Structure 1
């Protein structure tokens, strides 16, 4: 795994924003378009707040979501609501370039609809991922049946974190992306990171090679 270590979460978020901007510009320069997958969580949120201040070819970006919580449209706990507040409401990405998960329809219907959208899309250029304290990423949790689901988007039931019903991109899409940035910050992540280093196959460890951006708090058990 390719790793970069940062003194704190703010420095990590700053680098992540700069790196995302660089990769977006590269993709648009090469292909005329960039498909960017957003993650939920506090560290990605700070990245988005910084990213919105940068000059990017916003009109050429397509925005996707790695997972979503099955809550009503506009609910403060939805990942797309957070992305709207932190980033999308501030930049000129065309509304029809923002590909939301219709999680309000429930896990099965939303996953089926998103899988159809993904099947018609090219390979994702950039995927942003976080890691939970249990080693989950997107909404792929340890020991959950969704881990074995090979569809492009998968329904998630019985999540150990509320809400229990969710939708997630499947491993095929996440691992097929051109670039993966994995953001890991905070002391709460140190145990899972150490377990992965020891060879335990937590959900995040199934992600193909990517750039791991880690702050010192998350590395506490290994330094």
Structure 2
């Protein structure tokens, strides 16, 4: 495959592949090795992942890795405010594809709690994450064609608060008009601290979106993913 032409800033590493499976395996190898290394010096490690269809083969590959999974905390970067039985639930996706095989021993920290809205469940979700050791060890992000990542949507009225790098909170309730469901998301302040961050993408449209994001890197509120396009980021992209 001809390597795509993307003018990446210094310090950002790219892993480009032909197939989603190829890239998913490479990402799973990289994440497993990082977690394995962290567990040599830390009592526990954390893994924050994204929902959607793109990470499914990554989840399945990672679930089979030999790790001390009982010492790994797994959480989502965001969640739709729906019941777990709902097909739109990211929790359902993670439990069915990642928290199985060897990774069934991991501890899952849920963002979805009782309450009709994310605001109503926010305090319970924050209490759940109080057990989380900061900074996050591994952060796996996706990206929408509008430049959102996690549930940091450009049209959400809560975006400035959720993107504030000085925000002391771990979570924010999000109500973007462009989305069918209300959301809860990790804050930018929490995610930007992660020891290892990967952006997992698929398709030519996402490559075009990435190029747009890179063209004006300082305009974070227009395309929130720009907040993560900094040295240390690893981009895993497949053509298909």
How high is the TM-score relative to the length of structure 2?
0.82
Structure 2 match to 1:57:
68
Q: CA deviation at 1:177?
A: 1.2
**Equivalent pair of 2:143/2:206 in contact (CA under 8 Å):** yes
Choose the corresponding residue for 1:7, options 14, 18, 34: 18
Return the match for 1:172 from 177, 181, 189. 189
> Aligned-pair distance for 1:211?
1.1
Alignment of 1:1-223 (within 5 A): 1-91=12-102, 93-94=104-105, 97-103=107-113, 105=115, 106-123=117-134, 124-149=136-161, 150=167, 151-163=169-181, 165-199=182-216, 201=219, 202-207=223-228, 209=230, 210-216=233-239
Deviation of residue 92 (structure 1)? 5.1
TM-score (norm. length: structure 1): 0.88
Change (3 A) 1:73 1:185: same
2:143/2:199 contact within 8 Å kept: yes
Say which SS state the counterpart of residue 150 (structure 2) adopts.
coil
Q: CA deviation at 1:162?
A: 2.6
Deviation of 1:114 (Å): 2.5
Structure 2 residue aligned with 1:220: none
Q: Secondary structure at the match of 1:22?
A: helix
Aligned-residue Cα RMSD (Å) equals 2.0
Shift of 1:82: 0.2
2: CA distance, partners of 1:110 / 1:180:
27
Contact 1:38 1:127 in 2 (8 A): yes
Q: What CA distance in whole angstroms lies between the structure 1 residues aligned with 2:131 and 2:204?
A: 40
Q: 1:78 to 1:187 in 2, by over 3 A?
A: same
Structure with more of its chain in helix, by fraction: 1
User: How many residue pairs end up in the alignment?
Assistant: 215
Task: State the distance in 1 between where 2:213 and 2:184 align.
Answer: 24
Q: CA deviation at 1:120?
A: 4.3
Unaligned ranges ≥5, structure 1: 218-223
